[in-house]
Structure 1
């Protein structure tokens, strides 16, 4: 029996959340160890499991994987969510990198002073509506398929849905001018493995709160 992947990170979203999404969409069960103390983090460092002394860390296939982008591309390839050829993989990479830019803006905002945090969230919504979502609306319109690349579910679809839901937490009507993205959101949300992940009680994490911010600061000493 194959060992379940094990994820080492904080009890929150951050750079691990897209990894959780990808595994869940692939129907892969995983275990988690949450970092709550500086000592836990230092032990991972001393054990040589953090290549650049950074988390997230994912143990899978007998390997300790670090660097979130590398982890995501490995998982996408392993679970057939990375297109059928190099050209499709390139498009998936471009689309995933675009949504990641947006999500990192959201992930970093809670660590800023209150005024800057609110300004960051407002900028996220603005950029989503003017820079990112129009691109994906056009992609869906131009090729007329259910998915962003080819006609099958890929890492790009999963991460776009994650990004949409994150921005909707900041502004519920953000998709009001994007009918194809509205339909995309409904369609991808109803894929059985993803629908399960979106239910209460799953391993999906809530938006970061003050406690999460405090734990991260204490563990990483910043």
Structure 2
């Protein structure tokens, strides 16, 4: 296998975007093999690369890793983004799972039909404001980081999630000053700043082309 980290996924956010964020925060260079046709997916299946017939797939350290949480756990552990002990790791996991729940709600919304997307907007906004953002605001009340005194994967995921929310609801953080300050600190970190620049591996918001490609590649699901 290639020594360089290789990501196999679509040319869009989806389940791979949080993995891209983590690798960028760790300063790890990677290349991407995009699934554009069903044949690409079938080849990965035939090669035995997809344990559960699903992507994301990440080639790293001689392994073919699948399942997004397992992939991110490995990256976070390898690059010191997982706290200093088991207690910090447990807190990081709790924050991370909440953030993933929020990102999943948004991801599902992006592939809804136009009429359903509009219906779901208020639901996403309400959940973000009442269930998720207050937790992170409280977590940042007395520290620059969500857990401990150093950057962790929870911080990286939170930045991704809040920036994604702001793409949909530009003023959603107006009553969350701690999160706003957190964002500015995070964006000032050199590796994060680089990832936020035009031309980086960060993907734009999901569009119709991305959704069409996913449905074509997974035509056995979207029948």
TM-score, normalisation: structure 1: 0.97
Q: Which moved more, 1:161-170 or 1:112-121?
A: 112-121
Partner of 1:213 in structure 2? 211
Distance across 2 between alignment mates of 1:118 and 1:19: 28
1:43 aligns with 2:80: no
What are structure 2's unaligned runs of at least 5 residues?
none
1:76 aligns with 2:76: yes
Shift of 1:208: 0.6
Shift of 1:119: 2.2
Shift of 1:120: 2.3
Partner of 1:107 in structure 2? 107
Distance across 2 between alignment mates of 1:121 and 1:77: 35
1:167 aligns with 2:165: yes
Partner of 1:63 in structure 2? 63
Shift of 1:214: 0.2
Distance across 2 between alignment mates of 1:119 and 1:104: 17
Distance across 1 between alignment mates of 2:97 and 2:169: 22
Partner of 1:138 in structure 2? 138
What are structure 1's unaligned runs of at least 5 residues?
none
Shift of 1:176: 0.3
In structure 2, the residue corresponding to 1:32 is in which secondary structure?
strand
Shift of 1:127: 1.1
Shift of 1:189: 1.1
Partner deviation per Cα, 1:140-182 (whole Å, 9 max, x = no partner)? 11xx111011010000000000000000000101000011111
In structure 2, the residue corresponding to 1:59 is in which secondary structure?
strand
Shift of 1:125: 1.7
Corresponding pairs, count: 219
Partner of 2:7 in structure 1? 7
Distance across 2 between alignment mates of 1:7 and 1:67: 13
Distance across 2 between alignment mates of 1:215 and 1:40: 12
After TM superposition, the structure 1 = structure 2 runs for residues 79-158 of structure 1, keeping only pairs within 5 Å, are 79-141=79-141, 144-158=142-156
Partner of 2:21 in structure 1? 21
TM-score, normalisation: structure 2: 0.96
Distance across 1 between alignment mates of 2:30 and 2:80: 18
Whether the aligned pair in 2 keeps the contact of 1:106 and 1:121 (CA below 8 Å) is no
Partner of 2:190 in structure 1? 192
